[in-house]
Amino acid sequence: MTPTAESDFSIHNLPFGIFETEAGGPRAGIAIGSQILDLARLAAQGHFDDLKIPNLSVFSRDSLNAFIALGKPYWRAVRQRAASLLTTALVDQKAAKMLPPIEVGDYVDFYSSEEHATNVGKMFRDPSNALLPNWKHLPVGYHGRSSSIIVSGQDIHRPKGQLGAGEFAPTRQLDFELELAFIVGKNTALGSSVSVDEADDCIFGMVLLNDWSARDIQRWEYVPLGPFLGKSFATSITPWIVTIDALEPFRAPGPAQDPRPLPYLQSRGDRNFDIVLEVFLQPESEATPLRVCRTNFRGMYWNMNQQLAHLTSNGTNLRVGDLCASGTISGQTPDSFGSMLEICWNGTKPLTFPGGAVRRFLEDGDTVVMRAYAQRDAVRVGFGELRTRILPALPLDA
């Protein structure tokens, strides 16, 4: 059971998730190595009685929302207690089915990588003025569809849509987007706002996220109101939520922001995180996956605190379980680009695999695997694997 040095789920991590087994229904757990610490069983055995948790049934729900709503002092207390109970109430991860860890009320996808936004601007607008005028003044974002958020291991069907005037067909430009996302951990009142500094108490943790995109559907529909059906067909996340407490040792400074943001967006201290991210792609005809991207989260121009402050700046309210994604995470070099759109430069630079497969965008049968971890010396905190296979489009009447 002892995690290896390469394990994502080390004693330094202890991420929260929801699982079920043949012996019992959905319940909360903490990952440690290849095992799951069953929090519902620990609660039933009295291990949390002295923590004065208002309702121990929060560990026997089909989402973490009720537990997260208890607030940061309880998040920390349970995680610290769990660290002392790692030899009891264990379930082998192979014997468990992982479920969505939260009930997502609202889903927001930001657009916070300057490198990604610049690449897209170069492809589709003026290369000498790639960024739109507002981009360095606010964290651009859009509201996605929460009903189609799925967990790692669940395959997706190629989406269908309008590809242009008079044409409805399966997308020919299916793409992944490498992202991280944070989970809102606090309800706020309608009309109130959350400051950059207050955001620390409103973020429970993070998951790895793949914001699938149908580029041809998106290109035809997005003017003037932005992404819609080209994005809403599926968004994949990892089932384990890595807490902000676990990521504290990996805080890092972000890029210099010029021009200086307005006062409500001004950020002090290290708000970014040194998290390595990788994407592997395996066509059905290839024997092994090929790493197509390796990048780092620390380079994001807008940090999570600024994103949350901007999201609530108009008085919109937050709800526990809301999901806020970073936007595609890209670096400065082609091997660090976080989407096929960039890697293959809108199809003009095909990707060739060792076995001969060629890709400009994703094809049926392809498997996309994403990984993310933070590591410093012997301390490693990882997110687990985000794996999805692409299935053919369903018939129109299915």
Percent of the chain with pLDDT over 90: 96
Final residue before a domain boundary, out of 47, 76, 99: 99
Does residue 277 sit in the same domain as residue 173? yes
pLDDT digits (tens, 9 = 90+) for 160-173: 999 999 999 999 99
Does residue 205 sit in the same domain as residue 335? yes
**Lowest-pLDDT range, 120-129, 292-301, 308-317, 334-343?**
120-129
Query: What's the whole-number mean pLDDT along residues 253-266?
Result: 97
pLDDT for the residue numbered 69: 98
Contacts for 222 with CB less than 8 Å, ≥ 6 apart:
228, 230
Does residue 218 sit in the same domain as residue 343? yes
pLDDT confidence of 396, banded at 50, 70, 90? confident
Percent of the chain with pLDDT over 70: 98
Query: What's the whole-number mean pLDDT along residues 45-65?
Result: 97
pLDDT confidence of 88, banded at 50, 70, 90? confident
Final residue before a domain boundary, out of 69, 99, 129: 99
Active site residues: 116
Residue 10 has pLDDT above 70, yes or no: yes
The pTM (predicted TM-score) of the whole model is 0.96
pLDDT for the residue numbered 87: 85
Domain that holds residue 223: 107-391
Average pLDDT, the chain: 96
CATH number assigned to the domain comprising residue 38: 2.30.30.230
Final residue before a domain boundary, out of 99, 120, 153: 99
Range 243-246 contact pairs with CB under 8 angstroms and sequence separation of 24 or more: 243/14, 243/15, 243/16, 243/75, 243/79, 243/204, 243/205, 244/200, 244/203, 244/204, 244/205, 244/206, 245/75, 245/76, 245/79, 246/12, 246/13, 246/14, 246/15, 246/205, 246/381
Query: What's the whole-number mean pLDDT along residues 261-270?
Result: 97
Residue 44 has pLDDT above 90, yes or no: yes
pLDDT confidence of 2, banded at 50, 70, 90? low
Residue 3 has pLDDT above 80, yes or no: no
Does residue 124 sit in the same domain as residue 241? yes
Does residue 52 sit in the same domain as residue 174? no
pLDDT for the residue numbered 5: 59
pLDDT for the residue numbered 124: 92
In a domain, 9, yes or no: no
pLDDT digits (tens, 9 = 90+) for 138-147: 999 999 999 9
**Lowest-pLDDT range, 124-128, 285-289, 363-367?**
124-128
Cα distances from 358 to residues 68, 281, 286, 288, 346, in angstroms, run 45, 11, 10, 14, 14
Query: What's the whole-number mean pLDDT along residues 224-242?
Result: 97
CATH number assigned to the domain comprising residue 197: 3.90.850.10
pLDDT for the residue numbered 6: 77
Structure tokens at 300: 């994001």
* Sign of the CA dihedral with 12 first, then 151, 372, and 66 last: negative
In a domain, 23, yes or no: yes
Does residue 53 sit in the same domain as residue 154? no
Q: How many domains are contained in the chain?
A: 2
Structure tokens at 296: 């780092």
